[in-house]
Structure 1
Amino acid sequence: MSKTTSIRFKDNQIELAHGAGGKASRRLIEGLIAPILGNPTLNDAALLSLDTSSLAFTADSFVVRPLRFPGGSIGELAVNGTVNDLAVSGARPLALLSSLILEAGLAVETLQAELEAMQATAQRAGVAVLGGDTKVVEHGQADGLYISTSGIGLVDSRVALSAKAVRPGDQILLSGPIGDHGITVLLARGELDLEADLKSDTRSVWPLVEALIEAAAPGLRWMRDPTRGGVATALNELARETRLALRLDEEAIPVREAVRGACEILGLDPLHIANEGQFIAIVSSEFAEAALEAVRRSPGGQEAVLVGEVLEKPGGVVYTTNGYGSSRVVDMLVGDPLPRIC
């Protein structure tokens, strides 16, 4: 595999696009933040090996607007997002820390509701919120409430997930329909004259990942939860790192009609829309069917599907094909069409 080209950060100021999870985010993290901080891990979690086991550490921040939306809220996202970063690193989530940035003027009932949402979500996910920190800033400086979290998990010794393990012939597994979260939050803002019967997919994916590991650990190569930037950005990061091609069957990708319709009206690609309760896995061909059946048997995994394969060429490219024989290249997200969604 060829070495990836280093990135230089040349922008003069930070823009919203730098937080969208696409090309601008990549420039900021790989061109400025990582080199200065000593090139920390760019994966969902950092791994620390102990004598007989490995721990996964992760950190995340949540700045969603509005704070509550159909199917979830910032409190639920703060727990599920952190748990999922651990899960797709092959780690059983154990515990969280949480820091709250409160804006002066925030209603106490709003804060209480989000704290209760965090606690209920943590209980469902089987993790404890052990502590954290609280700060208050001036009115107008924090959009009501920001939440930062960190989490720790125990890595399953049966898996060793890495982009370096991905090989041509491997299959791409998607745990369910894409785009629900991003479009739900966008419509919840009330800025568009659109209505849809949608709710966020926010949830812990650990039960699905645990079933996947039980059934296909020897063939499990790589996983990611496609949040900011969506499936397209996550897979482009993998293609760039491996210099392999990732082919998606466009007709196999599960997208709800409401999401597809909203994307068509707004000129968006569902593959770029954020998800908060789905994951992508790369599985060797001999374990692909067992992996798929294991996820489908798990509660909430009934719509899982194999959506594509890893190929040797054209290297570093993600593309889709359809039944008509046509294809299109799917690039990383450019710009920031959906700011403040997680």
Structure 2
Amino acid sequence: MDIEGFVRRNIESMDEESVKRVLSERIMELKDIDIETSMKMAEAVVYEVKKTLELEGVDETLREIVSYPSAGVAMGEMGVGSRGEGDFFVHRKIAEIVSSTGTSAFINPSAQDDGGVVKTSAGSSEVYITTAVDGIHSRLSEYPFLGGFHVTRAALRDVCVMGSRPLALLSDLHLADDGDVGKLFDFTAGVSAVSELVGVPVVAGSTLRVGGDMVLGDRLVSAVGAIGFSETPPTARKRAEAGDVILLTEGSGGGTITTTAIYHGLFDVVWETLDVNFIRASEAIMDAGILGDIHAMTDVTNGGLRGDAHEISSTTGMGLKFDAEAIRSMINPRVLEMLEDLEIDPLGVSIDSLMIIAPEDIADKAMAAVRGAGVDVAEIGVVTDSGIPLLNRDGSAEELRPLFREAAYTQIKKMVGDKTPEDFDEMKRMVEEAARRAIEKKDMVVQMIRDR
């Protein structure tokens, strides 16, 4: 529970004593303390929030800095984090803010790729450094080991698909005020299990409370970052060319599939997700010496194949033509059975497969290398110049479009739904305006600091 947020939402619509009383009751629901102590806590929170609202006499510029450009659109309304059309739109706006700095990178956020890349020199050679960061699946807070395991795999995947060999891992861990310290250790054990399996060390990290004293409960949120390097240019999505063959390795899922299994009581499916096959497949391609000839690699995660196809097509201007049955053959049979039994679109959720885009002769070598590492792989389609991702199913072709949110894989997600809001265009306009104002604010502060 965000007790500061509660006060901010209610301090102007309720009288102050009522805010303190209700907040005190909420605090006692979560903490084993007496009414006197909870009331003192409530009074302290109200005092602090009121002080932040006392802006009379504050310099107008400073007032702008301590406020934020409200979009008037909530995260859930926009579908942020739900790996669909709304999420992709917001990420493009974030990329615009980053790009406005004028700093350069070989692959920057505007490419909407799996990881970012900078090029630097090491002696007489050029080296490409890849970085990636992923957050724990929000529904795995009560399952820290699995959360740590899968988020570490995700960060490593994002480095591998850029054609980099992972060098190091970083862990950023946040646990709310009432969380059991054992969660920290369990999460770290999950991260360390992957670290040990693939031989990539955890070198740094941070551990804090979610919201400090202002968030009660035991929610765990965290992220794992990965760093890798390569001596060849990255296998970025923008290199895909018409005529390329599209390959897909067998996917058993990660955090999303684990969450689906747990919250439907199908715990045996969790076993299917516990592997490091993706990283083995990526390393096999590197070891085969064909990485420089592969045009693009990506992991099938963000919104499933629907989302990745849309992102690749948007970035490259190319079309992609997929075979539905070939894709089905590359989804772990037990995972596919679960998804179909629960009426979850397998193309709309993360299955954690490695997708490889390469010329036909290189594709054959890639399949041989991946199979040599003990990972199944198949050809699932081709790149075209149509500019549209298409799915061939039962003799007919349909456009492969991302949903507003990824396919609903829990009961609460089914309730929220995946339909595009009727006012989505207006929501996008409001979000765009907030992003524009954020850039203006950034420019103002940078200029002020430079002028000093």
TM interval, shorter chain, is: 0.7 to 0.9
Residue of structure 1 equivalent to 2:390: 319
- SS at 2:183's partner residue? helix
Identity across the alignment (%): 24
Retained in 2: the 8 A contact 1:224–1:281?
yes
Instruction: Please report how far the alpha carbon of residue 209 of structure 1 lies from its aligned counterpart in structure 2 after TM superposition.
Output: 1.2
Q: Relative to total residues, which structure has the larger strand share, 1 or 2?
A: 1
Structure 1 CA distance, aligned partners of 2:367 and 2:96?
38
Residue of structure 1 equivalent to 2:367: 292
Structure 2 CA distance, aligned partners of 1:256 and 1:174?
12
Structure 2 CA distance, aligned partners of 1:269 and 1:154?
35
Give the CA RMSD over aligned residues.
2.9
Residue of structure 2 equivalent to 1:236: 310
Instruction: Please report how far the alpha carbon of residue 307 of structure 1 lies from its aligned counterpart in structure 2 after TM superposition.
Output: 0.8
Instruction: Please report how far the alpha carbon of residue 197 of structure 1 lies from its aligned counterpart in structure 2 after TM superposition.
Output: 4.2
**Aligned residue identity for 1:118:** V
Residue of structure 2 equivalent to 1:6: none
Please list the CA deviations of residues 177-213 of structure 1 after superposition, one character each: whole Å capped at 9, or x if unmatched: 3557533311302xx4767645325536333112213
Unaligned regions of 5+ residues in structure 1, if any?
Answer: 1-8
Task: Indicate the larger mover: 36-45 or 116-125.
Answer: 36-45
Structure 2 CA distance, aligned partners of 1:180 and 1:91?
21
Out of 42, 47, 56, the residue aligned to residue 117 of structure 2 is 47
Retained in 2: the 8 A contact 1:179–1:271?
no
- SS at 1:84's partner residue? helix
Out of 194, 203, 213, the residue aligned to residue 121 of structure 1 is 194
Task: Indicate the larger mover: 89-98 or 331-340.
Answer: 331-340
Larger radius of gyration: 2
Distance 1:296 1:327, change over 3 A: same
**Aligned residue identity for 1:152:** I
TM-score, structure 2 as length reference: 0.64
Out of 203, 224, 237, the residue aligned to residue 149 of structure 1 is 224
Q: Does 1:273 align with 2:349?
A: yes
Structure 2 CA distance, aligned partners of 1:122 and 1:196?
24
**Aligned residue identity for 1:284:** P
Bigger RCO of structures 1 and 2 (CA < 8 A, at least 6 apart): 1
Residue of structure 2 equivalent to 1:73: 146
Q: Relative to total residues, which structure has the larger helix share, 1 or 2?
A: 2
Q: Does 1:164 align with 2:238?
A: yes
**Aligned residue identity for 2:348:** H
TM-score, structure 1 as length reference: 0.83
Q: Give the count of matched residue pairs.
A: 322
Matches within 5 A, 1:96-107: 96-107=169-180
Retained in 2: the 8 A contact 1:174–1:279?
yes
Instruction: Please report how far the alpha carbon of residue 20 of structure 1 lies from its aligned counterpart in structure 2 after TM superposition.
Output: 1.5
Instruction: Please report how far the alpha carbon of residue 134 of structure 1 lies from its aligned counterpart in structure 2 after TM superposition.
Output: 1.3
Task: Indicate the larger mover: 237-246 or 192-201.
Answer: 192-201
Structure 1 CA distance, aligned partners of 2:234 and 2:405?
33
Residue of structure 2 equivalent to 1:3: none
Residue of structure 1 equivalent to 2:90: 28
- SS at 2:361's partner residue? helix
Task: Indicate the larger mover: 192-201 or 180-189.
Answer: 192-201
Out of 396, 400, 414, the residue aligned to residue 330 of structure 1 is 400
Residue of structure 2 equivalent to 1:90: 163
Q: Does 1:109 align with 2:178?
A: no
Retained in 1: the 8 A contact 2:172–2:207?
yes
